[in-house]
Amino acid sequence: MTPATWLAAGLATGLAAEKKSAAVTDWGARIGWLVGLALFVALVYWLMREGWKWRATLQGDLPELPGAPAEPGPAKLTMTGRYHGSTTAGQWLDRIVAHGLGTRSRVELTLTDAGLDVVRPGATDFFVPAASLREARLDKGIAGKVLTEGGLLVVTWEHGGRLLDSGFRSDRAAEHTEWVEAINSMIETNTTEGAER
């Protein structure tokens, strides 16, 4: 062997000796972190659920929701879409959760002379009598749900001595204006008839 070959072989051996094996993963620590993270997420979820139950307890004075009458009359308007929740009127972040009013769901709305029938598959249905309707308007947000300007139909109604805002979004948002006009016209007619009596 020539000196150059010896030198090359020596360098290769020296370099190979200096290389260290890759660090072995500490599986115990990694599993510990994952378990800790899972427990933290479970704790946060439990606290959120308890907060929701506490809010329902605080709103326990709200009476049961009215059901639809047996004969509500012919439908003036119908709509399918989403129910986004109810809040204290004028306070779009003060969600009402009692009696299932805080549960978001699909919705089928029907407006009749008797009032507004709110059918929610998978959640509690309720009925807003015509005498309890106070206002309808277009808005952009309710209870943590923000949409484009006018993207939400908000109906203000009275229940148990409290004014509530309920937010709906139609599958066809162009219908919202027609609903606002029809509900406000119905409220005005009922108010006029009540004043004449």
Mean pLDDT calculated for residue range 25-45: 87
Please, what is the average pLDDT of the chain?
81
50 inside domain: yes
Contact 83, 104 (CB under 8 A): yes
Tokens linked to 51: 């907060």
- Please check whether residues 139 and 187 belong to one and the same domain: yes
Distance CA 83, CA 64 (A): 19
Helices of type H across the chain = 3-18, 27-58, 176-196
Mean pLDDT calculated for residue range 148-165: 87
- Please check whether residues 32 and 123 belong to one and the same domain: no
What's the pLDDT score for residue 8? 55
What's the pLDDT score for residue 100? 84
- Residue scoring higher pLDDT (20 or 48): 48
Q: Would you place residue 22 in the very low, low, confident or very high pLDDT band (cuts 50, 70, 90)?
A: low
Contact 168, 155 (CB under 8 A): yes
**Residue 31 sits in which domain range?**
27-58
Query: Model-level pTM?
Result: 0.70
15 inside domain: no
Contact 133, 115 (CB under 8 A): yes
Mean pLDDT calculated for residue range 104-118: 92
Provide φ and ψ at 64, rounded to 5°: -55, 150
What's the pLDDT score for residue 16? 53
- Name the domain count of the chain: 2
What's the pLDDT score for residue 160? 84
What's the pLDDT score for residue 24? 65
Residue 71, CB-side half-sphere exposure with 13 Å CA sphere:
0
Indicate if the alpha-carbon torsion angle 52, 55, 61, 65 is positive or negative: negative
142 has which bridge partners?
145
- Please check whether residues 90 and 51 belong to one and the same domain: no
136 inside domain: yes
41 inside domain: yes
- Please check whether residues 100 and 134 belong to one and the same domain: yes
- Please check whether residues 39 and 125 belong to one and the same domain: no
What's the pLDDT score for residue 184? 92
Number of H helices, E strands in the chain: 3, 10
CATH of the domain at 136: 2.30.29.30
- Concatenate the DSSP letters of all residues of 127-148 into one string: EEEGGGEEEEEEESEETTEE-S
Q: How far is Cα of residue 111 from the mean position of the Cα atoms in its chain?
A: 23
Tokens linked to 188: 């005005």
Q: Would you place residue 48 in the very low, low, confident or very high pLDDT band (cuts 50, 70, 90)?
A: confident
Mean pLDDT lowest for which of 94-103, 104-113, 160-169? 94-103
1 inside domain: no
What's the pLDDT score for residue 1? 58
Instruction: Evaluate if residue 78 carries a pLDDT over 80.
Output: yes
Instruction: Evaluate if residue 93 carries a pLDDT over 80.
Output: no
Contact 144, 150 (CB under 8 A): no
- Please check whether residues 48 and 104 belong to one and the same domain: no
What's the pLDDT score for residue 18? 54
How far CA 140 is from CA of 52, 147, 170, in Å, comes to 24, 5, 13
pLDDT tens per residue, range 117-145: 999 998 889 999 999 999 999 988 777 67
Could you tell me what percent of the chain has a pLDDT over 90?
28
What's the pLDDT score for residue 85? 87
